[in-house]
Amino acid sequence: METATSDAEEEKKATFEASEIEYASYGGEHHLPLIMGLVDHELSEPYSIFTYRYFVYLWPQLSFLAFHKGKCVGTVVCKMGEHRSTYRGYIAMLVVIKPYRGKGIATELVSRSIRVMKESGCEEVTLEAEVTNKGALALYGRLGFIRAKRLFRYYLNGVDAFRLKLLFPQRELHPSLVMMAHNDASQRHASNRPLEEFPEQQERDCSSMGESVSNK
Amino acid sequence: MVSRYYSVDEAIENGAAPVPISCDKTGDVQCTIDIMDHLLACEATWHKGHSLAQTVFSCIYLLRPERTSSHALLHSYSRIIRATCKAVVSVVSDARTHEEEDLFTMAYGLPLIGEDEKCLSMLNAVEETIARQLRACKAPSSGRKVIEDLEPLQNNLALEEGYCKAILCRLRFRKHFYHVLMCLKRPQGRGLQLARKHISSCLSELEIIRKSTEVLRSNDYGTHNCGEDKTTASGRRPVGFDASINTRLSAPTPPRSIKILSWSEAVEYFVKLLHDLDIICSFSLDASLEGILQFMVQFQKSHPDLVSRAHLQTLLIQDGKLYGRDPIFAVIAKAAGLPEIVRNHDIQNGECLVHLGQLVINLLKILSTNAAWQRRKLGKIVQDWRVIHIQLELALRQEMGEESGISADQNGRGDILRQILIWVEEQTFWIASRFLMLGFELELYSPGEYCMVYWYIYVVLIKLAERMHHKMSFTNATAKLKGKKKKGSTKDMSRDFQIPASVLFLQSYICLAEGLTMMLAALKNERMLSQSPSPFNSDHERFIQHFELLQKAGVPDHISYQSFEESTKNARFSTLVMYNYFKDAQRIAKEVKNSFPNDPERQSELRRIEQVAEHNSIALTVLCRLGSLDSSLKVSFDFSHHPYFATAVVKRS
């Protein structure tokens, strides 16, 4: 996964209430240009349309978009599948445009994808992020991801990456945790409202198509 | 990355790499020096993790070596560069330490094959000529007679001395560096002393190279790149390089433009590389296996690059033996405290012990890799060491079954296996402790996970200390038994009850780990650590993930998240006040310092432990006194005193 970082910028921040952000699941070809536009704009090296189609055609239920007054301001693109006898979700791209960062939109997008992965039977979720991407590391850390591995000079610019992993509780092993999970769920926000979170720094997670590059 | 030229030949036809470089001799010399400097920058960039095709062999002169045969200086320099690259590729390939840096050894399509043995003689000839030119230009001022048949290096007599010196130091650096590589290649470490001399010469020449910038920058010729990223001492852009010329030979992924290190960064890189190689060369060839492992751990702290790590590995492991000299079973037997006579015992041919030998070789190779790769591999081999432990136990039971009824024979197979078994247990826990501690160096743990990590380190270190003490006691008991037969002396009885210094050293770690575990647990239990629960999982899942490999291997046995919870759930400042683990760590570190008078690394480590212990002890005292009574107190942890034992910082918000 490729993640870009930058220092805090003098961008004009958009003012909005959290409730003004609408989240939508990937609905079809009409959403593809929105996703591509966001990722291409934020990413130094644009992906080909085939890369996007690979994800959104095979796993449309895992991609979400965030809108503010009709304008697409964020997106997450994922996949899931069998990986070495583990059913695993993978977060491929996560983008929120700069004026809208720091307000929990990225966390909400990722959380929706993760919930679908969990409901689909995934045992874990993984992604890579640059070691210097403090914002992304903080976001995923709050969601329960650990830094499972460090990948030396993973990116061609020489920066290392962390392989982040989230392990879902295993029901058959931890019945007490199932009870705890039910108790916690009743205290969480409703699914269509953003989760409470700390202000985010800039974050952007983008990935290549396959995980095989990172699995050495 | 768009190629400017379709091929190297097209580039040459368009005058991208003229020979001579300039019709003006002075310009030609200046440009040659620029080429040398840029090649140094390219070489350092290659070492740092890029491909040869995009770095050193972006030089068109190197791609068509036959073209420079009329230009003695450029030709000899090109050849020594190629020979050097070939030698470095060879050692990295042999060691197979290229880990993630798999671009390093890619050399297909590049003219790396050449007549290496002639390159030095050619370089020496050119060096001799320029040395004579230097003497000649200095002769008038020294009153000596000028040698009339020797042409000067270039036309501007005022610049002659500076340019001769600038070229000579560059040629000599290359010559000595090549000699370093050749000396390190010699089997069984026979070339190490000579390598050190060449390393020293290299460093001297690099210093002269640095100083040559004054002369080279003072003459304005050609276009300047005045930025910090200039790749030549003169600041000029070099002639004859095209980064896109080898796009077809570049990395499998679409080639992207890369940043060549600046010239000053390149010089710094080679200074560090040479220092790292010098450390390798100065390490004793008679060290014990434990000493070697400690050396490797210490060596890695300076983050040596691939080239020096590859050299370390090829020095240690040659032809399946340590230093190409010591059979691995003999090394293991010595490490396990077995007498010398056992080291040729035929038990070494047993499948178990052959496999154990392979594990030891593999361990040494893993410890030569970069920290990230190393940690992953250490986690995986814990299982292998656990398996060999079980196999040795079975073999021991079999031997004991066969030996029952036979009087104890100190060199019997059963005794050998027993002692090796104890050593294998110790090594398994040592590997586990390295795996855990490397997690801190690699920043794999978030502050919310420190408590469980220190707890795990604590339980592993306890086992390690137990096994180490057991091994030493067993060895001493065996030796004493022999001694008793000879002398009947009881003089050593008092030493039986003394804990060995290396075990006490570990004890200081254990106290620190336990202290940090309990302090972090108390902070969590008294809700002084800001930690929101994750919506998708709990500490239990994070525990499982972090320690999965150790848990799978049962290292240690009967350890689970529940054990961790039980150990920490009742931690409170009111209970911690009764026992300050950090004070114990401080006391032990102070006491054991005198036991390592000739070991500066251990002395430094013990000082660091004292500092961490002292700071944490003070923090704990403050927290116990004020703790949850003062909600303005904020606690954070940093690694200002030690790379993996955190220091608590208590502040008022």
In this predicted model, which residue has the larger pLDDT, B253 or B648? Answer: B648
pLDDT of residue B221 exceeding 90: no
**Residue B100 binned pLDDT confidence (cut-offs 50, 70, 90):** low
Is A34 an 8 Å CB contact of chain B? no
- How far, in Å, CA of B235 to CA of A139, rounded? 44
**Residue B493 binned pLDDT confidence (cut-offs 50, 70, 90):** very low
Is A179 an 8 Å CB contact of chain B? no
For A143-160, what is the mean pLDDT?
Answer: 87
Is A188 an 8 Å CB contact of chain B? yes
Which residues does chain A have within 8 Å of residue B372's beta carbon, measured at their own beta carbons? 149-152, 160
* DSSP 8-state class, residue B449: G
- How far, in Å, CA of B423 to CA of B401, rounded? 22
Q: Nearest-CA residue of chain A relative to B543? A: A146
Of A118, A151, A167, the CB nearest to B372: A151
At A205 the pLDDT is 36
What pLDDT digit, counting tens, does each position of B584-612 carry? 999 999 999 888 888 888 999 999 999 99
Tally Cβ neighbours within 10 Å of residue B405: 5
The 3 state secondary structure assigned to chain A is CEECCCCCCCCCCCCCCHHHEEEEECCCHHHHHHHHHHHHHHCCCCCCHHHHHHHHHHCHHHCEEEEECCEEEEEEEEEEEEECCEEEEEEEEEEECHHHCCCCHHHHHHHHHHHHHHHCCCCEEEEEEECCCHHHHHHHHHHCCEEEEEECCCCCCCCCEEEEEEECCCCCCCHHHHHHHHHHHHHCCCCCCCCCCCCCCCCEEECCCCCCCCCC
At B144 the pLDDT is 58
- How far, in Å, CA of A4 to CA of A54, rounded? 22
Q: Nearest-CA residue of chain A relative to B375? A: A149
Compute chain A's Rg from CA coordinates: 17
At A206 the pLDDT is 36
In this predicted model, which residue has the larger pLDDT, B339 or A92? Answer: A92
- How far, in Å, CA of B436 to CA of B643, rounded? 12
In this predicted model, which residue has the larger pLDDT, B147 or B37? Answer: B37
pLDDT of residue B79 exceeding 60: yes
pLDDT of residue B170 exceeding 90: yes
Residue carrying the six token digits 């751990």: B297
Of B99, B373, B536, the CB nearest to A143: B536
**Beta carbons of B100 and A143 less than 8 Å apart:** no
Q: Please provide the size of chain A in residues.
A: 216
Which residues have C-beta within 8 Å of that of residue B188, sequence separation ≥ 6? B285, B318, B323, B324, B325
Which residues have C-beta within 8 Å of that of residue A127, sequence separation ≥ 6? A1, A90, A91, A92, A140, A145, A163, A164, A205, A207
Amino acid identity, position B131: A
Which residues does chain A have within 8 Å of residue B544's beta carbon, measured at their own beta carbons? 167
Of A160, A167, A195, the CB nearest to B545: A167
For B424-430, what is the mean pLDDT?
Answer: 96
Of A131, A162, A166, the CB nearest to B537: A166
Which residues does chain A have within 8 Å of residue B533's beta carbon, measured at their own beta carbons? 184
CA B21 to chain centre: 41
For A43-53, what is the mean pLDDT?
Answer: 78
For B632-647, what is the mean pLDDT?
Answer: 92
With pLDDT > 90 as the criterion, what percentage of chain B qualifies? 55
Q: How far does A146 lie from chain B, in Å, by closest CA?
A: 7
What pLDDT digit, counting tens, does each position of A95-141 carry? 999 999 999 999 999 999 999 999 999 999 999 999 999 999 999 99
At A208 the pLDDT is 35
Instruction: Name which of A116-125, B59-68, B195-204 the model is least confident about.
Output: B59-68
Of B376, B446, B541, the CB nearest to A141: B446
At B226 the pLDDT is 52
pLDDT of residue B559 exceeding 60: yes
Q: How far does B362 lie from chain A, in Å, by closest CA?
A: 18
Tally Cβ neighbours within 10 Å of residue B2: 6
What pLDDT digit, counting tens, does each position of B276-317 carry? 999 999 998 888 999 999 999 999 999 999 999 999 999 999
CA distances A211 to A79, A90, A156, Å, are 11, 8, 16
- How far, in Å, CA of B452 to CA of A10, rounded? 40
**Beta carbons of B541 and A165 less than 8 Å apart:** no
B294 with B40: CB under 8 angstroms? no
Question: What SS3 state is found at B324?
Answer: coil
At A199 the pLDDT is 32
Angle at A26 between CA A24 and CA A28, to 5 degrees: 125
For B69-88, what is the mean pLDDT?
Answer: 92
Is A134 an 8 Å CB contact of chain B? no
At B249 the pLDDT is 62
For A35-51, what is the mean pLDDT?
Answer: 81
**Beta carbons of B446 and A147 less than 8 Å apart:** yes
In this predicted model, which residue has the larger pLDDT, B153 or A112? Answer: A112
What phi and psi, each to the nearest 5 degrees, are found at residue B608? -65, -40
Q: Using CB atoms within 10 A of its CB, is residue B429 exposed (0-12), middle (13-18) or buried (19+)?
A: buried
Of A142, A143, A152, the CB nearest to B99: A152
Instruction: Name which of A169-173, B262-266, B553-557 the model is least confident about.
Output: A169-173
User: What are B's interface residues with A at a Cβ cutoff of 8 A?
Assistant: 48-49, 99-101, 253, 256, 258, 370-373, 375-376, 442-446, 448-449, 532-538, 540-542, 544-546
Q: Nearest-CA residue of chain A relative to B48? A: A158
Q: Nearest-CA residue of chain A relative to B259? A: A157
What pLDDT digit, counting tens, does each position of B155-165 carry? 788 888 889 99
pLDDT of residue B406 exceeding 70: no
Is A149 an 8 Å CB contact of chain B? yes
- Among A72-76, B101-105, B256-260, the range with the most confident prediction by mean pLDDT is A72-76
pLDDT of residue B528 exceeding 80: no
**Residue B214 binned pLDDT confidence (cut-offs 50, 70, 90):** confident
**Residue B476 binned pLDDT confidence (cut-offs 50, 70, 90):** confident
Of A111, A156, A167, the CB nearest to B537: A167
Q: Nearest-CA residue of chain B relative to A140? A: B534
pLDDT of residue B430 exceeding 60: yes
A184-195 per-residue burial string, b: 16 or more CB within 10 A, e: under 16: eeeeeeeeeebb
For A170-182, what is the mean pLDDT?
Answer: 55
For B431-441, what is the mean pLDDT?
Answer: 97
Instruction: Name which of A55-64, B140-149, B361-370 the model is least confident about.
Output: B140-149
What pLDDT digit, counting tens, does each position of A184-211 carry? 444 443 333 333 332 333 333 333 333 3
pLDDT of residue B152 exceeding 90: no
Question: The dihedral of CA B633, B636, B640, B646: what is its sign?
Answer: positive
**Residue B482 binned pLDDT confidence (cut-offs 50, 70, 90):** low
- How far, in Å, CA of A46 to CA of A68, rounded? 24
pLDDT of residue B205 exceeding 90: yes
**Residue B512 binned pLDDT confidence (cut-offs 50, 70, 90):** very high
Tally Cβ neighbours within 10 Å of residue A171: 10
At B112 the pLDDT is 77
- How far, in Å, CA of B458 to CA of B452, rounded? 10
CA distances B77 to B122, B198, B441, B557, Å, are 9, 18, 41, 60
- How far, in Å, CA of B555 to CA of B77, rounded? 55
What pLDDT digit, counting tens, does each position of A5-15 carry? 444 444 578 88
In this predicted model, which residue has the larger pLDDT, A70 or A182? Answer: A70
